[in-house]
Structure 1
Amino acid sequence: MSAAYLIVEMRINDHEQYKAYMAAAAPAVKAAGGEYLARGSRHESLEGDWQPHRVVVLRFPSYEAAKSFYDGDVYGDIRKLRAGTTEYFNMVLVDGM
């Protein structure tokens, strides 16, 4: 079974409220077997038109573990903390090799 990755791009417009989401999300990710590989760190576009404001990359032990985390009640409640804090929030789940 290969790892899976959640890749997120976002633009935060309410940093203070978003901090509550980040504080709750981190332990939930860890409890689900996930880990942050990149979280808002330095980045640059090397090709194409993609100009994300903030990028986050998480690794989970499997695709199923990542889906279970995302679809679960715990993260469902945590997502409510994010409501209204971002201009956009795009997330994709990618199966690893």
Structure 2
Amino acid sequence: MPAYIIARINVTDPEQYEVYKSLAPVAIKKYGGQYLTRGGAMETLEGAAETSRVVILQFPDMEAARGFYNSPEYGKAKDARENAANGTFTLLEGYVPA
């Protein structure tokens, strides 16, 4: 069953964040993930306006998503992001209709 990581990110240092953006895709690909959206245009339809950068990743399953997030490859990206952004990363199981 597919799994998704939804990241809501507040970028504080755009130049350093570019380093993170160059490292993260390597780890995502290695663990079978793909970007579904990567901070593109968005519009809040209901509730408080979303002001964070929103990224949605898809992985084959929860195990692969956890493997990505805890990998040494992504660890390098997280280190690069440390002083460039803060945010919330949520892992959720996908839905497959019966």
SS for the counterpart of 2:20 is helix
State the partner residue of 1:94.
92
- 1:31-50 matches, within 5 Å, as 31-49=30-48
Distance 1:9 1:38 in 2: 12
22-31 vs 71-80, which deviates more? 71-80
Q: CA RMSD in A?
A: 1.1
State the partner residue of 2:67.
68
Write out the 4+ residue segments of structure 1 that deviate beyond 6 Å after TM superposition: none
Give the TM-score, by structure 1 length: 0.91
SS for the counterpart of 2:57 is strand
State the partner residue of 1:15.
14
Distance 1:52 1:96 in 2: 25
CA deviation after TM superposition for structure 1 residue 49, in Å: 2.1
Q: Which runs of 5+ in 1 are unaligned?
A: none
Equivalenced residues, count: 95
Distance 1:85 1:32 in 2: 24
SS for the counterpart of 1:56 is strand
Distance 2:27 2:41 in 1: 24
Which amino acid is the alignment partner of residue 35 of structure 2? Answer: Y
Give the TM-score, by structure 2 length: 0.90
